[in-house]
Structure 1
Amino acid sequence: MFDTKNFAETYSQSKEHHPFRTDMERYSILSWLEPVEGKRVLDLACGAGNYSRMFCRLGAKEVTGVDSSVEMINSAMSHTPEIMPVAYHTLSAEDYASDIPYDLVFHAYLLNCASSPEKLYELCRVLYRNLGTGGQMLGIMGMLGHYPSGRRNPSGCYAAYQGGLSEGDGYTIFFPGQQKAVNHYWRRSTCHSALVEAGFSDICWYLPSDNRSHQMSADDWVELENNPVFIGVSATR
């Protein structure tokens, strides 16, 4: 599961080296991201801190990484140079609040952690209350639950579940090396409604950006474009 040292290290390494992570996931995030130089950034569900460190390299003035997994935070701290302006907190996203709003609130696969409509709305409220007026909320939402059960794809992961999935249903994701974690199935329209209810405006959804890296075959690109493993979302307050 998420809170093991082996999973945290494997996940961190995949973020840095797997072609899907570097040439589709990261590339897409950078293409949707507003400039962060000199800004305060909140990275909710930061995992092993890969994107927290990326924001530092892009010139962020201050980055806060929050994750409920002790091992993910331990990994994040071990891979983050002391010179980087990052503070990590082992805390669930729902429990985090800052007295000073952030210019960017980022989240990767956070909405997939919601196990009920109430939890989904609560997470959207957390995103909203930590964002300053005029700031950017940017995130990615996993779509593996929209794949047929057991179907492998170029991301190196696959979902396993019984029967059809309904809103909020849990499913198991198997990562390379048979590491696994539980996510929850949500339609984009349901998440959109929760974001509107939380107070967000200018909500935009994105398909993964086309990088056409030589590291991924043409067939892999076509597969991921026709059946996205994730989609992006941005909004303002």
Structure 2
Amino acid sequence: MSDYQGHATGYQTAKRQPWRTYLEQPSALALLGDLSGSSVLDLGCGEGHYTRLLRQLGADQVLGVDLSSDMVELARAQEKSHPLGIDYRVCDAAELKLQTTFDLVFAGYLFNHARNREELRAQFSTICDLLRPGGRLVALNNNPDDPPSNFEAGRPYGYSKSIDGPLVEGAAIHYRFELEDGGVFELTDYYISREVMQTLMEDCGLQQVHWPQPVLAEEGVEARGADYWTAIMATPPFCLIEATRT
């Protein structure tokens, strides 16, 4: 798994880049829809950015889980200062065992931490165990269709990627985020193709898998102009995934 320990604040700051505000977040919220009365598990919740949004979408019960105690500490601090009734736990998503199931599991950039098929299968298996029959998985993930030839295209948006060799299964992809305070946040994730991901999901009991297109908020066009978004919309840095537990 990628090690975010000690990088929680940088990760939190990177969430405020304009492409996240006007492209990633509106896309995720549109896919999630109205969650009134739902029970929701946020796997790989980080510092709780999306966990709080899940609650604000109407979810009745929200549990956030992350491997990094630093991340969970930030999430709990936010919950303490602005209570929403969210519970947070420190645990590896692939090893989480609970006595309850959920209407929805949200996974924000969780699957790209898996270094191989076995780790990814373990994540999907856990999700299936924790979803009620008919429950939904909604996920954000690094775009597996983004070729290395495009890895520098994100620089105008505050990020770039690099790879040490060919783009093969399990290859490490290095991310660099230029933060608004002048700092830099770096992390490493891993490549697994869309086709392999979908096969593993279906093998674990996640069906009706589809990959919706991102949606750019009109506010983003107003704030930055239409031309600003041309390159990132051509090959977005993230993808959306939705599936149903059979």
Does the alignment reach a TM-score above 0.5?
yes
Deviation at 1:149, TM superposition (A): 7.2
SS of match in other structure, 2:45 = coil
Render the CA deviation track for 1:91-114: whole Å, top value 9, x for unaligned: 110111221110110001111011
Structure 1: unaligned runs, 5 residues or longer: none
> Residues of 2 paired with 1:26 and 1:211: CA distance?
9
Corresponding residue for residue 236 of structure 1: 244
1:156 and 2:162 equivalent? no
Distance 1:221 1:80 in 2: 34
Contact 2:148/2:163, CA 8 A, preserved across alignment: no
Q: Which residue of 2 aligns with 1:57?
A: 56
CA drift of 1:84 comes to 1.2
SS of 2:202 mapped into structure 1: helix
Task: Report the counterpart of residue 167 of structure 2 in structure 1.
Answer: 165
After the TM superposition, which of the residue ranges 208-217 and 116-125 deviates more from structure 2?
208-217
Residue type at the aligned position of 1:58:
L
Aligned 8 A contact 1:108 1:139 in 2: yes
Contact 1:149 1:158 in 2 (8 A): no
* 2:228 paired with 1:220: yes
Query: What are the Cα deviations for residues 160-182 of structure 1, in whole angstroms up to 9, with x where unaligned?
Result: 21232101211211122322111
Tell me: CA distance 1:150–1:195, structure 2 relative to 1, closer, same or farther (3 Å): closer
Alignment of 1:68-79 (within 5 A): 68-79=67-78
1:12 match: 12
Q: Aligned to 1:2, what secondary structure does the other structure show? A: coil
Q: What is the TM-score normalised by the length of structure 2?
A: 0.89
Match of 1:139 in 2: 139
The count of aligned residue pairs is 234
Contact 1:34 1:136 in 2 (8 A): no
Distance in 1 (alpha carbons) for counterparts of 2:18 and 2:185: 18
Q: What does residue 209 of structure 1 align with?
A: 215
Q: Does 1:89 pair with 2:97?
A: no
Higher RCO (Cα < 8 Å, 6 or more apart): 2
Partner of 1:180: 186
Q: Aligned equivalents of 1:155 and 1:181: distance in 2?
A: 17
Inter-partner Cα distance in structure 2 for 1:150 and 1:143: 11
Partner residue in 1 for 2:202: 196
Distance, in Å, in 2 between the alignment partners of 1:217 and 1:18 is 16
- Structure 2 stretches lacking a partner, 5+ long: none
Match of 1:47 in 2: 46
Q: In the aligned structure 2, how far is the partner of 1:215 from the partner of 1:45?
A: 30
Residues 149 and 156 (structure 1 numbering): CA distance in 2 closer, same or farther, change over 3 Å? Answer: same
Measured on the aligned residues, the alpha-carbon RMSD in Å equals: 1.8
- 2:9 is aligned with 1:3: no
Specify whether residues 146 and 77 from structure 1 end up closer, same or farther in structure 2 by C-alpha distance, changes over 3 A only. farther
Q: How many percent identity over aligned positions?
A: 28
Query: For the Cα contact (< 8 Å) 2:153–2:160, is it kept in 1?
Result: yes
